[in-house]
Structure 1
């Protein structure tokens, strides 16, 4: 996978960290090996934000395998420091490659497979590949589910939201259907899947992120539905003005999934 702007990934990192469903950590810890190094694969690692968040919440020692299709992002992720809950540095390696090409043989020895903000930009075949390859616990965070709420609301909100969701499903991508598709894919293989909400709740303290999200949200909607273009400039201008004045809040809903393999896995 390529095409993610590192500056966007860095801008959203704080909101992502706040949103992730921390209540899934206890059952995850219980399911992980209690002795020996944890070997953690981070799929679509981006700049490494999932590793920076999760490494400090799991025991050491840890070895992270950062997997992404974009060499620029791998370079940034490799430069980060990942520190375990024990205070010891994790070891890190990077793998460049296509997530859809993952095989079970690639993940032999993995204690955990994880990913953040990834499921919704995958195809059904890629989700099936992950489900078929992973025989260990899997933690998948921050998958969009197609629910956005802006306050104050406007009649056009629903039009832009529907167009954005359709854009997310372009070219066979799962978009808001990813959580359901992943739940089915892992469930067919005997795994149990726990789902928890992990919404962004953006207010005046996240104005820069809200503004950048709005620009991308509206642009994607217009790309999907050019008939919205005549309204987009004024709509976005109003929303950005409200955002800059501290009058706009946004809830962007996501879901986190914890997958625990069945006894037959």
Structure 2
């Protein structure tokens, strides 16, 4: 994975963090705790850590001393993530943090050899089939459970419905599957591809829904999400730009009035948790 992140990316990650925390499948954490019982001090590798939201959510839910190693290609995001990690687990045990900047799709089993657990959030749908194959191979060879959360499925529901919703969703999903710098992104196809890759390595997989459920209480997030959703759809299909202007005005008025609810479906995947 190469290239620079847009300047507003950190702000977007911060805005979505509460919705991510509310959406993640907590029952998979129960499976992880059972899998790690008696493992001693935990070493958790968080892949594509961003600003550290996965660690802030998960570290308090895991018992005992923990050392988190945060991976990302953006050093500024890593610094922010490390500074924001909790100092203690839910039982008061210490949590320490290290960072590694680099291309996580090039990680090997040797890079993850000390791991007790591998994690990622909102990552898989930004990868290609080849990148997922390499990442799964490294995780499978490391022989540790991997909790990979919040991958988009392509299913979105806006309430009240509008005739334009389906066309915008289809164009957005095509945008998620676009080719960028020669990389054909998987977008909504990422979780099935990842599950199949783990299966080829003989690793069991559990998959759970983790939808965003957004309403008037998340109006700022809904507004930012809607703008990004529509902009991506129109970038993919420029012919939609003019015809959707009235649609955009209607939807933004509904958001401002607290009359729009949005469900954005995601999936959480736990590999090797059995």
TM range (shorter): over 0.9
Residues 182-239 of structure 1, C-alpha deviations (whole Å, 9 max, x = no match)? 0001111111100100000001100000000000000000000001011232222211
Structure 2 equivalent of residue 112 of structure 1 = 117
Partner Cα distance (1:237, 1:72) in 2: 36
Q: 1:17 aligns with which of 18, 21, 37?
A: 21
- The answer on whether the counterparts of 1:140 and 1:256 sit within 8 Å (CA) in structure 2 is yes
Aligned to 1:3: 5
Partner residue, 1:249: 261
Aligned partner (choices 182, 190, 207) of residue 178 of structure 1? 190
Which shifted more, 199-208 or 228-237?
Answer: 228-237
* Structure 1, unpaired ranges of 5+: none
Cα offset, 1:27, TM superposition = 1.0
Residue-pair matches, total: 262
Counterpart for residue 90 of structure 2: 85
Deviation, 1:81, is 2.9
Query: TM-score of the superposition, structure 1-length normalised?
Result: 0.96
Instruction: State the distance in 1 between where 2:145 and 2:268 align.
Output: 13
What per-residue deviation string (whole Å, max 9, x for no partner) do you get for residues 81-100 of structure 1? 32312223311000001111
Q: Aligned to 1:144, which of 152, 175, 189?
A: 152
Equivalent in the alignment of 1:230 = 242
- Any residues of structure 2 matched to 1:97-246 within 5 Å, and which? 97-134=102-139, 135-171=143-179, 172-246=184-258
Which SS does the other structure have where 2:241 is aligned? helix
Q: Deviations over 1:27-62 (max 9, x none)?
A: 111111514210000000000000000000001200
- Whole-Å separation in 2 of the counterparts to 1:9 and 1:89: 26
Distance 2:196 2:214 in 1: 31
Contact persistence 2:73–2:102 (CA under 8 A): yes
- Structure-to-structure mapping, 1:54-69, within 5 angstroms: 54-69=58-73
Report how far residue 261 of structure 1 moved. 6.5
2:57 to 34, 39, 53: 53
Question: Aligned-residue CA RMSD in angstroms?
Answer: 1.2
* CA–CA separation in structure 2 for the residues paired with 1:133 and 1:158: 38
Tell me, yes or no, if the aligned pair for 2:55 and 2:85 is still in contact at 8 Å: no
Q: What is the TM-score with the length of structure 2 in the denominator?
A: 0.93
Q: Structure 1: how far apart are the matches of 2:153 and 2:224?
A: 19
